[in-house]
Amino acid sequence: MDALLVSKLFRQLGFWGFAKGTWETVYITILSTAIAYLLGLPLGILLVVTDKEGLHPVVWLNKIVGTVVNIFRSIPFIILIVALIPVSRAIVGTSIGNRAITFMLIVAAAPYIARMVESSLKEVDKGVVEAARSMGAGNLQIIWKVLLPEARPSLIVGAVISTVTVIGYSAMAGTIAGGGLGSIAVTKARTSNAQDVIWLCVALIVIIVQVIQEVGMYLARRLDKRIARSRNIKKTKKIKE
């Protein structure tokens, strides 16, 4: 009975096998998104600032950075992984394992995040930037005190979308370099045709995505002062009741 319902691989992996896969997916995703963000954020700021309508237009630099970002963004990730194998070996010393996956994810996610940041910062009202300029604020002050804080809710939403994308990428990277739920589902389960393992991996990934999505959106809403009004009205209503 038991053997019919539950595959051999499923039992072989056991609770700790899935727990390890989940943990690897989570930490690879968060680590690589975080590092990619550290690279993508300044790149995004650079794209906005050097834009021809930006704070400090430098058209040639904007073109170069924009083109590089576009090139990386247009390479399908699965091809990028293969192309990055020797690069990964040269830079992080290996082309397999979690370290290699993290490296590849950073390379793929940073340009993506740069564009996300760029679009968030461009949403900031031009009038507010103009007001800051009229007060004698320098460009760095405008970036730190106007652009980034004013774009905060949008930046958080962008970060959440990026993280979810990286989860998807991490599963793909798992097929080549091993590690995480992706590699369990694709390499181990597919070869032994363990449908239950595949579906459990899918379920776990869905749960991870849901958690990140919900937490992120809650933070974005919570930190957005523009809609403070409606929230406060709700609160006072509750108190009245």
Partner 1 sequence: MIELRGLKKVYASKEGEVVALEKVDLKIEDGAIYGVIGLSGAGKSTLVRCINLLEKPTAGQVIIDGEDLTKVKRRRLLEIRKNIGMIFQSFNLLEQRTVEANVRFPLEIAKVRKVVEKKCRRRGTDGKKETVSVRKEVRVRYSRGEMKRRTAELLELVGLSDKAKAYPSRLSGGQKQRVAIARALALNPKYLLCDEATSALDPNTTASILELLREINRRLGITIVVITHEMKVVESICSEVAVIDRSRIAESGKVADVFAFPQSEIAKELIIPGLIRSVKSSGGKKLRLVFNGEEADTPVISGPAPRCGISVNEEEEKVELVKRHLKELNIKCKEEI
Give the interface with partner 1 as residue ranges (CB under 8 A). 125, 127-128, 130-138, 141, 145-146, 149-150, 152-153, 224-229, 232
Judged by CB, which is closer to partner 1: 79, or 237? 237
The nearest distance, CB 151 to partner 1, in angstroms, is 9
The nearest distance, CB 122 to partner 1, in angstroms, is 16
Judged by CB, which is closer to partner 1: 67, or 232? 232
Judged by CB, which is closer to partner 1: 144, or 218? 144
The nearest distance, CB 143 to partner 1, in angstroms, is 12
Provide DSSP, the chain.
-HHHHS-HHHHHHHHHHHHHHHHHHHHHHHHHHHHHHHHHHHHHHHHHHTSTTSSS--HHHHHHHHHHHHHHHHS-HHHHHHHHHHHHHHHHS-SSHHHHHHHHHHHHHHHHHHHHHHHHHHTS-HHHHHHHHHTT--HHHHIIIIIHHHTHHHHHHHHHHHHHHHHHHHHHHHHHH--HHHHIIIIIIHHTT-HHHHHHHHHHHHHHHHHHHHHHHHHHHHH-GGGHHHHHHHHHHHHH-
The nearest distance, CB 146 to partner 1, in angstroms, is 7
Judged by CB, which is closer to partner 1: 8, or 225? 225
Judged by CB, which is closer to partner 1: 125, or 214? 125
The nearest distance, CB 113 to partner 1, in angstroms, is 21
Which residue do the tokens 């009205």 mark? 233
